[in-house]
Chain A
């Protein structure tokens, strides 16, 4: 897509990153981490972020060095047409699988907790329909929409935190290493691609007013998301205990269900659904848009908005294959993340290596 005016600035970037990465504090990702790490659930994302940091910094360094490229163009520039296509396609597939699996999880969550009578496919269709319509409007709309909705979402997050903290017992964070340092490291590294979106977002490197806006935005957003995720996971560990936490699938909703505010507000969990729903919509709108953008960039499709509908539908069909939620989360998501992770951890180094190789004569 040719953006001529490039109206997006830092604040939109911050909220986009926050929406895509940070709100993994509220979906089913914690249940995935808690499965092995138990009450050290909050240390796992710390390990993941530390592990993702070097490749990410290298990617950012390369993008800064080659000012006028975005992610796919950079790969093409450095690796050439053929290898570049292969690598970019692999990245796309990684993102695509992760989106499909995530989407199924969110759908099940929505279906199971809020609309138990409705058929999954119906909720799915409506959800996807809205995502596709909004994603079609382009990055500018998405950016401003995200910025406009952020107050509601922040309000929800703060409210959930205060409510949850009433029931939290801080001693439950001990024994501090949970299942042991090995589990934390292995889990943190092998599942670090749960946050792979941060790499894919670099496709939008050229879409901002200045590239500096993008850099500041992605760093600020990343740090904020990291803080949010770690705090939320720590709160989950403090609200539930270590043996209970790995039995619960929807920690965010469940944690709001067990607290009551006095006599009158006994069932308050539904209040927190609104912000959660908004954030989920935005998250998948952004994710879908970014993926189509990457796909469009690989095959040089200028008007890639046309891809949103087919990509969305294919993703929905694929994600409906797993027979149940728990298999989807604990088997498929876990395995797919373990397969995808090495790719995302290595490819920036590969790019960096070729960059050095190409420049060896010049210096």
Chain B
């Protein structure tokens, strides 16, 4: 009798254990990798494009059934992320899940409109959508961007975006822009936010603008995937106002203390033979920003940037390695070049944008005791545009890589 009761009790446990309302079968999930959002003719109705990855393609486990395409692209109308997801489910059999979204792409047209802030407001309250997904602004419609984007070597779309953004970030031509940063900066209402700018439409300009003086779509590449990630979109108060080239983005990142600095690749003018360029790997230490706040009059902003260069190509074959005089010229010249470019960027933000994308408002905060005082002092409208910015750029070291001296071309030509 007692045993019977025990068995019955154990059977009841089975009831509890199976009662998982939130059971999710992997088979039944459609994982969205990227979402594109476009403006439509009607206000506050947007076109959402979901790029759904096919987990069977490209994995080493699958063997036979890889005839299916690597991804499926569905686009629907909707007012926010969640409602669009359910609309999209009318054509996709599996349940659409936003857990794995790595990139959210907004078209430039939408980003420049006033509606942008409304659609992005629905992101934090969407449970599935993680706020560490990257925000990307596409030059053309986001739907076209996703459809045209055909990576040849990376058949698995989630890897493609990850690698692509990482490479571009390594060269410093696009910023790191998770969605959460957008909210922090926009709600802080003191700085400009910059997001990566990308395009699949090639409109190459004739100019050769060093390796980074381009915006997305302008680079003259033959073959490969048409997608280009370079430059950034500038947002003021939740609305896009301008675009920066890759080079400007790099100098902006150099001055920002919150973004992790990676080694970036850059070219500089050869000081002794100006028609040649020197390319180098640049490592930039975290900038030091100190602000001398004056209640009346102009505040003074001092910015110290230290750079370490690793030169690996001197096409002009000037002997910078062993000649101390020439080396001094090189140091001075690189410092000057960096200084000029950075000053240009600061000037542009002071005069054109009247706000800065460097997140410097962080450094003036300690001057104030309360948020009220801080907001009243008005960093973005009063302090920054009138401040004197002193840049101190210091090239601490230059290494010359694995060769000891450049080969003497004059002798070779003989």
Residues of A within 8 A of B (CB): 38-39, 112-119, 122, 126, 169, 171-172, 174-181, 240-244, 247-248, 254, 257-260, 263, 266-267, 269
Asked if A247 contacts B371 (CB within 8 A), the reply is no
Q: Choose one: B16, B100, B370; the contact of A179 (CB below 8 Å).
A: B370
Bound CA span A242–B369, Å: 14
Given that A115-B21, A242-B188, A259-B132 are known contacts, is A175 also in contact with B100, CB under 8 Å in the complex?
no
Q: A266 is contacted by which of B21, B22, B102, B183 (Cβ under 8 Å)? A: B102
Q: How far is the CA of A176 from the CA of B366 in the complex (A)?
A: 7
Asked whether, in the complex, the Cβ of B366 is within 8 Å of the Cβ of A169, the reply is: no
Closest to A242 in B: B371
* Distance of A260 Cα from B372 Cα, bound (Å): 33
Complexed CA–CA distance, A247 and B178 (Å): 18
- A241-B127 in contact (CB<8A): no
8 A Cβ contacts from B256-276 to A: 257-258
Q: Which of B19, B100, B369, B374 has the most CB of A within 10 A?
A: B369
Name the distance in Å between A273's Cβ and chain B's nearest Cβ.
13
> Which residue of chain B has the shortest Cβ distance to A240 in the bound complex?
B184
Contacts known (A176-B366, A241-B184, A266-B102); A169 close to B21, Cβ less than 8 A: no
Do the beta carbons of A174 and B368 come within 8 Å of each other? yes
B residues near A (Cβ < 8 Å) are 16, 19-22, 99-100, 102, 124, 127, 130-132, 162, 166, 178, 180, 183-184, 187-189, 257-258, 362-363, 365-366, 368-374
In this complex, what residue of A is CB-closest to B181? A258
In the assembled complex, the CB of B185 is this many whole angstroms from the nearest CB of chain A, namely 8
* Residue of chain B at shortest CB distance from A112: B127
Query: In the complex, are the beta carbons of B132 and A258 less than 8 A apart?
Result: yes
List the B side residues contacting A263 at CB < 8 Å: 162, 166
A122–B371 CB distance below 8 A? no
Check if B258 sits within 8 Å of A175, measured CB to CB. no
Chain B positions within 8 Å of A117 at CB level: 21-22
A175 in contact with B368 given A241-B184, A258-B130, A258-B178 (CB within 8 Å)? yes
**Contact in complex: B22, A118 (CB < 8 Å):** yes
| A126 CB contacts on chain B under 8 angstroms | 16
* A238 CB → nearest B CB, Å: 11
A182 to B84, CA, bound (A): 45
Given contacts A240-B184, A267-B100, contact A38 B371 (CB under 8 A): yes
Among B258, B371, B374, residue most surrounded by chain A Cβ atoms (within 10 Å) = B371
Whole-angstrom distance between the Cβ of B26 and the nearest chain A Cβ: 15
Question: What are the residues of chain A within 8 A of B257 when measuring CB–CB?
Answer: 169
Residues of A within 8 A of B162 (CB): 263
Return 18 A-B CB contacts under 8 Å, by A number: A113-B127, A114-B22, A116-B22, A118-B20, A126-B16, A174-B366, A174-B368, A175-B365, A178-B371, A180-B369, A180-B371, A241-B184, A244-B187, A257-B131, A258-B131, A258-B132, A259-B132, A266-B102
Provide the residues of chain A in CB contact with B366, threshold 8 Å. 171, 174-176
Q: Compute how far the CA of A117 lies from the CA of B127 in the bound complex, rounded to whole angstroms.
A: 12
Residues of A within 8 A of B370 (CB): 175, 177-181
Closest residue on chain A to residue B370 by CB atoms: A180
Residue from B100, B178, B184, B366 having most chain A Cβ neighbours under 10 A: B184
With A118-B21, A244-B183, A260-B132 in contact, is A176–B127 under 8 Å at CB? no
CA distance A122 to B21 in the complex (A): 9
CA distance A11 to B131 in the complex (A): 40
Bound-complex Cα distance A258 to B368 (A): 28
Contacts of A177 in B (CB 8 A): 369-370
List chain A residues, Cβ under 8 A from B187: 241, 243-244, 247
Name the B residues within 8 Å of A171 (CB-CB).
362-363, 365-366
Cα–Cα distance between A244 and B370 once the two chains are bound (Å): 16
The residues of B that contact A247 with a CB separation of less than 8 Å are 124, 187
Give every chain B residue within 8 A of A260 (Cβ-Cβ).
132
Complexed CA–CA distance, A266 and B134 (Å)? 12
Q: Report B-chain residues with C-beta under 8 Å of the C-beta of A172.
A: 362, 365
Give 19 new A-B contacts, CB below 8 A, not counting A244-B184, A263-B162: A117-B22, A118-B22, A122-B19, A169-B258, A174-B362, A174-B366, A175-B369, A175-B370, A177-B369, A179-B370, A180-B371, A240-B180, A241-B187, A243-B188, A244-B188, A258-B180, A267-B99, A267-B100, A267-B130
